[in-house]
Amino acid sequence: MVKASYKRYVLEFKQASGTSRGVLKTKETWFLILDSNDKQGIGECALFRGLSADDKPDYEAKLKWLCTNINLEQKTLLQELSEYPSIQFGLEMALKSLESQNKFELFPSSFTNGEDSISINGLIWMGAEAFMKRQIKEKIELGFRCIKMKIGAIGFETEIDLIKSIRKEFSSNEMELRVDANGAYMPSEALEKLKRLSELDLHSIEQPIKQGQVEQMAELCNKTPLPIALDEELIGIFDFEKKEKLIETIKPQYIILKPSLIGGFQGSDTWIDIAENKNTGWWITSALESNIGLNAIAQYTYSKQSALPQGLGTGSLFINNFESPLAVVKGHLKYKKDLKWNFNL
């Protein structure tokens, strides 16, 4: 028999972090803890207020239901939680953790052995021009060779100038640049802006227009000179046929998978299968989880053996994160066996 409990936890940012949706100072998350025969499993239900499809008034009630019914079959539980992707992810993680020899080692590999690493992009948060310039300089000094900039908040011309300043120093062979507009552009202006951005040798742009405008996004992906990656567009689509239809209709160049927002490992596997069948590229991104969730996403990501730099966070944004073996070394996420976990709720 498995016993289950949950606990809410609020992560606090070291520095308020700007996105086109506003400034984030805290990030709420929930931990699912399973106990059975002197073993423990830990999962993170990384709810993202204002973005998650399961940001609903009955979220905690659903967690209570899960804890009461934890001994049902995993398939039955995941079906019941089909519209609660972050809880699905927490459940998958916790069950895998419970089954493992080491509760933090969910997908044993050369990565968890500390022998290999995952190439990641360095994330540049929105803010004043000087703040963004400082972040870019720091990421370059830290050895990142792929930078992702959040854009759409400080003025298009200022952002163009910032990207130009990077390109003066580094060619696209030396530094891959991705931008994330978080749906900031109007459909009527998006194509023109993408033409301007494409002149700067960018890798791709995430979500140039707001999600839900399927026809406009399909037209944009058809005409764009700059590869488009769907991100928010995938959130809240639970049905396989609808997922397939979305990719068939829009024909994006890439999709971005956030396991906390799309139903964990199984949800990500489904999107990857659809994308690969439609010749659409993909990469995996964390979504402000604690190091517990980031650890699970990183190990899952490594198992997929993608050649692209992944969008994995570094766990360093929060003042009250949990100590872990995850470390960033020259633009790569590594599992340092000499560092220990410190998980105390």
What residue has token string 């994006």?
A: 252
- Separation of CA 50 from chain center: 15
Cross-strand bridge partners of residue 256: 283
Q: What are φ and ψ of residue 245, in 5° steps?
A: -65, -40
* Closest listed residue to residue 289, CA positions, set 279, 277, 298, 300: 298
Query: Residue 197 carries which side chain, given as an amino acid letter?
Result: L
Which of 103, 150, 210, 334 does the annotation list as catalytic?
150
Which of 148, 193, 243, 258 does the annotation list as catalytic?
258
The H or E element spanning position 124 is strand 122-124
Whether 258 is catalytic: yes
Query: Residue 54 carries which side chain, given as an amino acid letter?
Result: D
Three-state secondary structure of the chain: CCEEEEEEEEEEEEEEEEECCEEEEEEEEEEEEEEECCEEEEEEECCCCCCCCCCCCCHHHHHHHHHHCCCCCHHHHHHHCCCCHHHHHHHHHHHHHHHCCCCCCCCCCCCCCCCCCEEECEEECECCHHHHHHHHHHHHHCCCCEEEEECCCCCHHHHHHHHHHHHHHCCCCCCEEEEECCCEECHHHHHHHHHHHHCCCCCEEECCECCCCHHHHHHHHHHCCCCEEECHHHCCCCCHHHHHHHHHHHCCCEEEECHHHHCHHHHHHHHHHHHHHCCCEEEEECCCCCHHHHHHHHHHHHHHCCCCCEECCCCCCECCCCECCEEEECCEEEECCCCCCECCC
Residues found in the chain: 345
Catalytic amino acids?
Answer: 150, 258
